[in-house]
Amino acid sequence: MSMKSYKFIDSVKFYTNNEQDLHIVFMNEQKRLVYKVNKVTLKLLELIGNKESYENITKIMLSEYDISNKNIDEVFLNLIQNNIIEENEDKEQNDYYEFLDRQINFLSQYTNEDVTKTDIQDYLKKSHVVILGCGGVGSWIAYNLAQSGVGTLTLIDNDVVELSNLNRQALYFSEDIDKYKVEVLMEKLKKINPELSINIFKTYINDVSDLNIIPLPANLLINCADKPNSYETGMIVTRYACKNKMTNMNGIGYRGNVCRLGNTTIPGETMCWNCINQNNEWELKDLEQVKFGNHHSSAGSIASISSLIGSIHSLEALKILIPTAKPSLINGIGEIDISNLKIEFTLEKQTKDCKVCGRRRKDDNK
């Protein structure tokens, strides 16, 4: 510690109501700590604020106050453990880190004594995420992850841009109509993040073997495909991911006012798509669909809903990729009703053995 220099984390603010109480507000986490302080503590904090080295701070404090090295070490350790100060890194401030400066500040909430916020950003830069389906949800996820500095994206979709896509899907413009979505996204995303590496595949996925095109290794596979439907594509992705021990997420999407969230599967640790769906029978399963004339059913959708659901799953993806973060969409399914802003997340129980991931009923308490 002696040769290191520390600084206050950018997202903390300090308030006081008298000379003894120091209120520390964490803007990212919306929390507050209150410390009893005295003139000795305030002097030490002032030196940290001036980015003095630990060695210089120790010399100054020992020369001016009747304290020991142990006292100083205890204060530093407390500040580090409570995520108030961090090591003042000498990272070269190139365009990549300047581009992500605000995000790196946000990532400070996931740091610890061994992992800095730039370490976390470097985890993202080394990550490879596969997105299946680049429509109303997948295009927003690709957009967000490129902005977040994820190093490699693999995009799989055989659709071309249509006029009706422009009202809710990210980065498609009128001049892109009739172009392949994956080609358009590759061009636009590289302009946002020139350091991003992108693989594209113009194909549909109809079987587990179709996913063998994915360049390995991959850290995360996100399903946003809805052909023939999100349940079937979810099962294909789950079978492939469980076989290859790949973390995966079903970014289910939306229908009208209802956004569907989840689920995230960590093979060997959490419930998979099949585990959850075998618990819940479709309420219309005993009915037969009928069609009258040329009537075609289609739920409405708008950009604010598709961007919202895409953003929630993008944040979940970052939590999966960051080793010190914890995913939120595990072992359950969530819903947001936009009509009344009601949010529900239902945790499921392992009621049956799963033939896809191998999870058993007795694993439910894991």
How high is the mean pLDDT in each 10-residue block of the chain (366 residues)?
Answer: 80 86 91 92 94 93 95 94 84 80 91 88 97 97 98 98 96 98 98 97 96 98 91 94 96 81 92 87 68 81 91 97 96 92 91 91 65
Nearest to 85 by CA among 4, 206, 203, 144: 4
Q: Residue 268 corresponds to which tokens in the numbers above?
A: 């060997």
pLDDT of residue 124: 98
pLDDT of residue 88: 81
Count of helices and strands (H, E) across the chain: 11, 15
Distance CA 259, CA 252 (A): 8
Tell me, what amino acid is at 1? M
Other CB atoms within a 10 A radius of the CB of residue 154 amount to: 20
Torsion angle, CA of 279/280/285/290, rounded to 10 degrees? Answer: -140
Q: Residue 317 corresponds to which tokens in the numbers above?
A: 């993806």
Dihedrals phi, psi of 343, to nearest 5 degrees: -120, 130
pLDDT of residue 279: 72
pLDDT of residue 46: 95
Contact at 8 Å (CB) between 76 and 6? yes
Please report how many Cα atoms fall inside a 13 Å half-sphere around the Cα of residue 315, on the Cβ side: 11
Total-model pTM: 0.86
Distance CA 149, CA 144 (A): 9
Q: Residue 101 corresponds to which tokens in the numbers above?
A: 């400066």
Contact at 8 Å (CB) between 256 and 264? no
Contact at 8 Å (CB) between 272 and 280? no
Contact at 8 Å (CB) between 136 and 306? yes
Tell me, what amino acid is at 69? N
Q: Is 34 helix (H, G, I), strand (E, B) or coil?
A: strand
Contact at 8 Å (CB) between 230 and 223? yes
pLDDT of residue 320: 98
Tell me, what amino acid is at 279? N
pLDDT of residue 288: 80
CATH (residue range 104-283+294-347): 3.40.50.720
Dihedrals phi, psi of 335, to nearest 5 degrees: -140, 140
For residue 42, what is the DSSP state? H
Dihedrals phi, psi of 342, to nearest 5 degrees: -85, 130
Dihedrals phi, psi of 209, to nearest 5 degrees: -65, -25
pLDDT of residue 2: 56
For residue 51, what is the DSSP state? T
Distance CA 123, CA 322 (A): 7
Q: Residue 35 corresponds to which tokens in the numbers above?
A: 């410390």
Separation of CA 208 from chain center? 26
pLDDT of residue 266: 96
Contact at 8 Å (CB) between 130 and 154? yes
